[in-house]
Amino acid sequence: MLSFESDYIEGAHERILQRLAETNLEQLSGYGQDLYCQRAKEKIREACECPEAQIFFLVGGTQTNTVAIDAFLKSYEGVVAAKTGHVSTHEAGAIEYHGHKVLELPEHQGKICKKELEVLLKNFWQDENHEHMVFPGMVYISHPTEYGTLYTKAELEELAAICRSYEIPLYMDGARLGYGLMSRDTDVTLPVIAEYCDAFYIGGTKVGVLCGEALVFTKKNMPKHFLAIVKQHGALLAKGRLLGIQFDTLFTDGLYYEISRHAIEMAELLKEGLDRKGYVRYLESPTNQQFVVLENKKYQALQKEVVMGFWEKPDSDHTVVRLAASWATKQEDVERFLELL
């Protein structure tokens, strides 16, 4: 059985497992105070060209979003996000559960648009009754988005400018950041992100580790007593080494980029094959997730041999599926899949 179900169906890159084994019996203090966490942070600071970045390792994406958003916002503030943002739709209401409204903007293939953001912010502050409303306290974007799309450097700069003029942080969910950075069609780099975003996270779970996300605060703006905030959310890992060693390895000898690039190559191979065979892509994604329109009959037939992600039904005869390439995708699997089409 082939599977393009998601980018988290395998374990971890072998170098990660190897480093976990090599360091296994070293005796290290808990809660992120160990040497490997320190090294990983140093390497991430360098990769971001942001020597003052403050970094905290967390276990998963929803957890990272929840803790970061909750730590940034005042109780009367909400987070602005696209209607399709992960925090808006697929986190089981974690943001609201922790007390904050998601203020939704329309989505444009998963992205928010600076004009609509500006209007939302302006309207809020102009409204005489705004103290009866939820204050827009930060802006959330995902990059790549849930649709695999990317912001350009210019777009990030514009969003950042708006956020700064309203004195609210710009936060990027980088669950699949590696696949964005290695896209053939982007001018956005880690230093660019570190410049324009007040905080962001470098996703590990979907890019080669067993679990883990590196939350980066770029402007000396890590909320005070952040460790206590993390602990209070039940999000502080006792054996912080697990995260430190994995990120230390990811950011040694460019492993993060290398494995991300591999996923992009596999996705491009997939795209070329699909195009060649005349399949319609649901939207143009320059990253590792590809969305394809299949006739229902074809979809049913394929399901016997391939696990795909159901996305939606655009009409009664067709189904959109998501095919995710990853650091672990084998070229032969892509080729076999293309043959099956």
237 Cβ contact list (under 8 Å, min separation 6): 31, 32, 57, 58, 59, 243
As measured in angstroms, the least distance from the Cβ of 7 to a copy of itself is 10
As measured in angstroms, the least distance from the Cβ of 194 to a copy of itself is 24
C-beta of 93 vs 314, nearer to a copy of itself: 93
Provide φ and ψ at 55, rounded to 5°: -125, 140
The one-letter amino acid at 101: K
Residue 36: name the closest of 53, 59, 17, 20 by CA: 20
Provide φ and ψ at 172, rounded to 5°: -115, 125
As measured in angstroms, the least distance from the Cβ of 10 to a copy of itself is 5
Residue in the block written with tokens 């082939």: 2
As measured in angstroms, the least distance from the Cβ of 289 to a copy of itself is 15
As measured in angstroms, the least distance from the Cβ of 100 to a copy of itself is 6
Rounded CA-CA distance 139/201 in Å is 14
Residue 111: name the closest of 137, 142, 136 by CA: 142
Rounded CA-CA distance 80/69 in Å is 11
Rounded CA-CA distance 202/306 in Å is 29
As measured in angstroms, the least distance from the Cβ of 224 to a copy of itself is 8
Q: Is the distance from CB of 37 to CB of 54 less than 8 angstroms?
A: no
Q: Is the distance from CB of 186 to CB of 152 less than 8 angstroms?
A: yes
